[in-house]
Amino acid sequence: MGDRITVTAEEAKNRLSKFQDKPFRLHQEETIEFASRSDKPFKIIELPTGGGKSLIGMTLAMMNRKTNYLCGTKILQSQLSEDFPEGVTLWGRDNYTCLKNDEFTCNHCTATRFDPCNEECVYKREKSRALESQVRILNYSYYLSEVQYAGKFRNSDLTIIDEADSLESTLIGFISLEFTDSDLFKLGMANGPRRKTTDAKDGVQSWIEFGEVAHAKSKRKAAELKAEVDSWDTIEEEWQLRTMKALERMVHINERCAMFLDNVDKSWILEQQDMVGKFQGKLIFRPLWITPELAEKYLWKHSKSWVLMSAAFLPKPVLAKILGIDEGDMDWVTVPSTFPIENRPINIWPVCDLKYSNMKEEVPKLIKGIRKVLNRHRGQKGLIHCSSYSLAKMIVEGVDDERLITHGNKDRQAVVDHFVGSHGDAVLVSPSLERGINLNDDLARFQIVAKAPFLSLADKVVNKRVHSGRIGQMWYSSSMMLAVLQAAGRGVRHEGDYCECYILDKAVERAYELQPSLWPEWFRDAITWGANELV
């Protein structure tokens, strides 16, 4: 696996200062040995929440000369930095303050030929430190941009992808070509291509012509803005920052147009997101699936070996499809949970059948069930997972309990921070906390999955995938399963922790009964059934 350093797992772990005197947990060492011995390019490690993925990943990193450790979120990057100081964490330029002007970030360098920077750039210094280190801790988006353009983190011996179940959406977002209405207006292309259809009816020729015009106009606009920025003696004013951001946006559009023209074909789709409230509409060209060619070109060719880790993955043929991987190139291990079953019960107690067509009749049944769960857990904090902001609002208003708090799109982190820091028995209602949050111990003693988290068939991309064949249908049903599994793992974070999970939508029960083998053993073992418990 990669360019190995000849050390054992134990010796590699002992190079991690905060784990030198700590033994491996059950299954960790054998999982490390599995990954280090495999000669397949892709090692897939499915390890339930709390099983110690980070230590497994960092130990493998210490067994190789150069490792990129990729995270889906900055929160996880920060956690890894705290736990593993041996790795060097690097963020994007926007996360570092310019030394010349603390109103600017390093993404908008304020140095000019008349007013040069006399101090070492913080971002450049940290990037150099990361490049020299054995282990670099990066986030997905930054890594994809770096290997595509600057190229400094290419050709690593090993690349570890944590929370890899969310990789596909980031990769598709990177490859896609997106315009806001404002972008089109600034380019003088406000009419855009035909928006009433998802498919390219004329063999993508009209899309290519649109992309070529956008490429030429964005290049010309970027050149004009660059000449203006280069003419300044000093850079201190807010209007100058706005101009630099406009330049950055035009360069980004120009780069994405070039990628689009290199890759677009009849398998791509055109997605229109209409204006909602104050938000402007968007026009997005994107591949329906990540093909092996796209995956190799923009990701897989940049490392000798890969380890993908998550609490749960989509089934092997679906994972291969969405990441452009050949099933034969995967080695897969599923690690059992070490947490006592009695500490993590999964109560499938369906009290409602929430479909778009019958929400009016079924939501009151859901509200009744939630109230009964709240009564069972008086004095305890909890989390209610729902599928949308509109359902969150229905729950908060319908339950009418001062324990319940929720958030919108803009105040999510502030509300989550308030919830985590609060005492008492607050209950957070959220459509977006199935992953990325650790609610250990008294932060959550119960959770409710209010509605089966199916992706919306009103989304043209989702709809087209579902109707593309057997893999598309399997992707749709197993994506819901994966979201439930991730939600169930938010509240039990170590062997002494406990949290009770309630699933109240009959759609989850139906999906489980249709294909129980798709659900991992750790989840199946913890299920209790009680259709009438909350009625």
Q: What is the pLDDT of residues 176-201, one digit of tens each?
A: 999 998 999 999 998 767 555 566 66
- What CA–CA distance (Å, rounded) separates 363 from 274? 28
Q: Which domain holds residue 454?
A: 341-529
At residue 531, the pLDDT reads: 54
Q: Please answer whether residues 188 and 217 qualify as being in contact, where contact means their C-beta atoms are separated by less than 8 angstroms.
A: yes
Residue 520: which CATH number?
A: 3.40.50.300
Nearest CA to 398 out of 484, 449, 406 is that of: 406
Clarify whether residues 280 and 294 are in a common domain: no
H-assigned helices in 238-358: 238-263, 292-298, 316-323
- What CA–CA distance (Å, rounded) separates 243 from 96? 19
Clarify whether residues 301 and 406 are in a common domain: no
At residue 18, the pLDDT reads: 95
At residue 190, the pLDDT reads: 81
| Domains in the chain, number | 3
Mean pLDDT of the 360-377 span: 95
User: Does 67 map to a domain?
Assistant: yes
Clarify whether residues 156 and 252 are in a common domain: no
Burial of 317 (0-12, 13-18, 19+ CB in 10 A): middle
Clarify whether residues 234 and 312 are in a common domain: no
User: Does 3 map to a domain?
Assistant: no
- What CA–CA distance (Å, rounded) separates 55 from 446? 27
User: Does 534 map to a domain?
Assistant: no
At residue 197, the pLDDT reads: 58
Clarify whether residues 164 and 27 are in a common domain: yes
- What CA–CA distance (Å, rounded) separates 368 from 532? 12
User: Does 202 map to a domain?
Assistant: yes
User: Does 1 map to a domain?
Assistant: no
The DSSP H or E segment spanning 462 is helix 460-466
Mean per-residue pLDDT of the chain: 91
pLDDT at 318 over 90: yes
At residue 415, the pLDDT reads: 93
Mean pLDDT of the 420-440 span: 90
pLDDT at 445 over 90: yes
Nearest CA to 515 out of 311, 289, 308, 314 is that of: 314
CB within 8 Å of 155: residues ≥ 6 apart = 302, 303, 304
At residue 185, the pLDDT reads: 92
Clarify whether residues 156 and 27 are in a common domain: yes
CB within 8 Å of 318: residues ≥ 6 apart = 471, 474, 475, 478
User: Does 114 map to a domain?
Assistant: yes
At residue 137, the pLDDT reads: 97
Clarify whether residues 368 and 381 are in a common domain: yes
Clarify whether residues 111 and 241 are in a common domain: no
Clarify whether residues 225 and 297 are in a common domain: no
Clarify whether residues 133 and 225 are in a common domain: no
Clarify whether residues 377 and 484 are in a common domain: yes
Q: What is the pLDDT of residues 221-232, one digit of tens each?
A: 999 999 999 999
At residue 195, the pLDDT reads: 57
SS3 helix, strand, coil % of the chain, rounded to 5?
A: 45, 15, 40
Residue 494, CA distances (Å) to 91, 340, 497 in order: 29, 10, 5
Q: What is the pLDDT of residues 15-38, one digit of tens each?
A: 999 999 899 998 999 999 999 999
User: Does 2 map to a domain?
Assistant: no
Specify the pTM. 0.87
Clarify whether residues 53 and 162 are in a common domain: yes
β pairing state of 158-161 and 88-89: unpaired
CB neighbourhood size of 59 (10 A) = 29
User: Does 240 map to a domain?
Assistant: yes
- What CA–CA distance (Å, rounded) separates 301 from 323? 13
